[in-house]
Amino acid sequence: MTSSTLRSRPVTLFWATFLFATIAALVLLSEILLPFAAGFVLAYLFHPFTGWMCRAGVNRGAAAFVIITVMVLVIAVILALIVPPIIEQFRQLIEKAPGYYHDLRIFLIHQYNHYLKPFQIGESQAGAPVDMQQQIAQNVAPWLISKLEGLLQSSVALFSSAALLFLTPVVTFFLLRDWDKMIASIDRLIPRRHEPAIRALAKEIDGTIAAYLRGALIVLIIVSAFYMAALGAVGLNYGLLIGLGAGLFSFVPYLGSTGGFLVSGGVALTQFAPDYAKVALVCGIFVFGQVVEGNVLTPNIVGSKVRLHPVWLLFALIASGYLFGFTGLLISVPLAAAIGVLVRYAVQRYYESPVYDVAADRGEANRPAKVPEG
């Protein structure tokens, strides 16, 4: 056993213990982390504006206050304009969902009865038509009511909801105000022996997360606005609701456009049939939106610096959501980006080590020049 191995063990043990303690703390405190995670994400997004205002001669505390005030006002205006019609459309959709199901079932049976008859669409095993509204009343409604009652009775859920509204701006303000001090404190903790490698990794992680978060936010706003405006112009029922949902999920590759395509296509069939030109127009909106997002917006706004494979992104979303709930969904992308950078660094070090290069003893080069992306 070499001396370098002996010296590396305390470092490895320290970082393994630190990682385990961090994960354990996050799991144990996941119920109350949401306002702090949201505040950190917002502070990370807006701290460059705080720095710009400070360089212009504005006190950092005043700059943070101005940014928080403007952010709250903008969000309040947007919510005041969008939330009432969205809630009304959602209420109408819930009320008319059984009718839409019935109309869609009749359309499918009328057009494709020969293919669908073996599946008994819309019929029970006895051959009697299924009353969709009765099924909803018997099955879905009690489940939904029980979930709502549990939510209202949960003091933790109530605390989290109130904290998200009132604590998030406060947390964001203090993080913006003290951002430089926090970075300096973390900088002093860096082991000087590994400082160059850690700084390089931190710089790459920061660049990856910043490019993704800020770029994805801009793309999300553009895509949501496009879907909502286009579906509203066509006259699709619940166009605002469907367009907003598709836009909000656009940060997951293909999920927003595919889900919006399926939902809007079903609504368009029940609303516009037999005017299939409008049905095709509604579906074409999502095809066009996906093409523009994937080939124009994301490459030019998010950029090629972010190397997150769609499968890795989906796994990060599901795993973080399972472990930490909504807080996990909020931090999943930054966490996935950071882990991706660390994994690429570890793989590169592996390629450079004698463990990988079995021909190193013979002086032969057998290493990839670059870590593959993905």
- Per residue in 54-73, pLDDT (tens digit) is 888 888 888 999 999 998 89
Q: What is the pTM of this model?
A: 0.65
Measured between alpha carbons, how far is 45 from 334 in angstroms, rounded to an integer?
Answer: 12
Measured between alpha carbons, how far is 280 from 224 in angstroms, rounded to an integer?
Answer: 20
Measured between alpha carbons, how far is 132 from 135 in angstroms, rounded to an integer?
Answer: 5
pLDDT (0 to 100) of residue 358: 57
Measured between alpha carbons, how far is 50 from 63 in angstroms, rounded to an integer?
Answer: 6
Burial per residue of 276-308, b for 16 or more beta-carbon CB atoms within 10 angstroms, e otherwise: eebbebbbebbeebbeebeeebbeebbeeebbb
| 244, 81 Cβ separation under 8 angstroms | no
Q: What are phi and psi of 123, to 5 degrees?
A: -130, 150
- Mean pLDDT over residues 209-218, rounded? 81
- Mean pLDDT over residues 273-288, rounded? 85
Measured between alpha carbons, how far is 215 from 333 in angstroms, rounded to an integer?
Answer: 12
- Mean pLDDT over residues 322-348, rounded? 79
pLDDT (0 to 100) of residue 140: 54
pLDDT (0 to 100) of residue 296: 82
Average pLDDT, the chain: 74
pLDDT at 136 over 70: no
pLDDT (0 to 100) of residue 102: 72
| Phi-psi region at 36: left, alpha or beta (left = phi > 0; alpha = psi -120 to 50) | alpha
Which has more pLDDT, 369 or 203?
203
pLDDT at 134 over 50: yes
- Mean pLDDT over residues 268-292, rounded? 84
CA dihedral 347, 353, 354, 360 (to 10 degrees): 110
pLDDT (0 to 100) of residue 127: 44
**pLDDT tens string 356-368:** 665 444 445 555 5
Q: Which residue type is seen at 318? A: I
**pLDDT tens string 214-265:** 888 888 889 888 998 898 888 888 888 888 888 887 777 677 788 888 888 8
